[in-house]
Amino acid sequence: MRPELDESARTIAQRIGRDFPQWLVMWGTYSRVYWAYPTFPAPGGTIVHSHDPGELTRQMREIQMSRDIREPYSGTTIFGRISPVGKEDEVGSDE
């Protein structure tokens, strides 16, 4: 195991967690996978995992949309544009 890779992956997990405050996001140093656990009402056993942080956030958004959970954050992350669910047209507007 390379500690510098784990540190980078933990930093990415922390950034995802800040962008998705309704989730507990972790890097598995043994599994080498990102894990996300919803803190909002979701069916029992709802857990998201992926080796790829972009895929992890895609799955997280999909679950949030299915549960009608709205993201309070709107902005750009290292994984692309994040906007509140259902508010895509308003991102970047001056209103």
Ramachandran category for residue 91: left, alpha or beta (phi over 0 → left; psi -120 to 50 → alpha): beta
Going from N- to C-terminal start, the domains of the chain cover 3-90
| Chain CA centroid to CA 35, Å | 9
Q: Which residues contact 1 (CB under 8 A, 6 or more apart)?
A: 29
DSSP state of 91: T
pLDDT tens by residue, 11-66: 999 999 999 999 999 999 999 999 999 998 888 999 999 999 999 999 999 999 88
Residue 49's nearest CA partner among 64, 65, 32, 67 is 32
pTM (two decimals): 0.69
Q: In the beta sheet, which residues pair with residue 49?
A: 35
